[in-house]
C-alpha cells in the first residue's frame, strides 16, 4: 500500500452530510477503493475527500482512495 505523504484535502468536506451512501460500508482490507467509488457515485458534492482521492494524480499513481477502517489501522501498525 502507498500513502500520500501530505494531506491532499485540507478543509474538504468528508462527504454528503446526512446522506446514506449505499455500499460504502466495507471495513476490511481491500474495500477502501470500492467505498470511495460508491461515495463518488452517490454524492455529487464537489471537492469532498472521496472526489479528491478519485481524481488525484500523485507520484505517478492515479488509483488513490480513502482507506477502509482496517486499511487505516493497518497503516498505523507499520
Q: In whole angstroms, how far apart are CA 21 and each of 11, 25, 27, 61?
A: 21, 8, 14, 26
d(CA 72, CA 70): 5
Cell of 1: 500500500
pLDDT tens for 9-68 read 788 887 788 888 989 999 999 999 999 999 999 998 888 999 999 999 999 999 999 999
pLDDT tens for 61-70 read 999 999 999 9
Contact present, 39 and 66 (Cβ < 8 Å):
yes
Contacts with 21 (C-beta within 8 Å, 6 or more apart), sequence order = 15, 38, 39, 42, 43
Domain residue spans in the chain? 32-77
Amino acid at each position: 500500500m502507498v500513502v500520500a505523504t501530505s494531506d491532499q484535502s485540507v478543509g474538504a468536506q468528508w462527504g454528503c452530510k446526512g446522506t446514506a451512501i449505499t455500499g460504502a460500508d466495507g471495513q476490511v482490507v481491500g474495500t477502501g477503493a470500492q467505498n470511495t467509488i460508491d461515495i463518488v457515485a452517490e454524492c455529487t458534492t464537489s471537492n469532498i475527500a472521496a472526489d479528491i482521492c478519485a481524481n488525484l494524480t500523485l507520484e505517478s499513481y492515479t488509483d488513490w482512495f480513502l482507506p477502509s477502517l482496517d486499511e487505516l489501522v493497518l497503516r498505523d501498525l507499520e
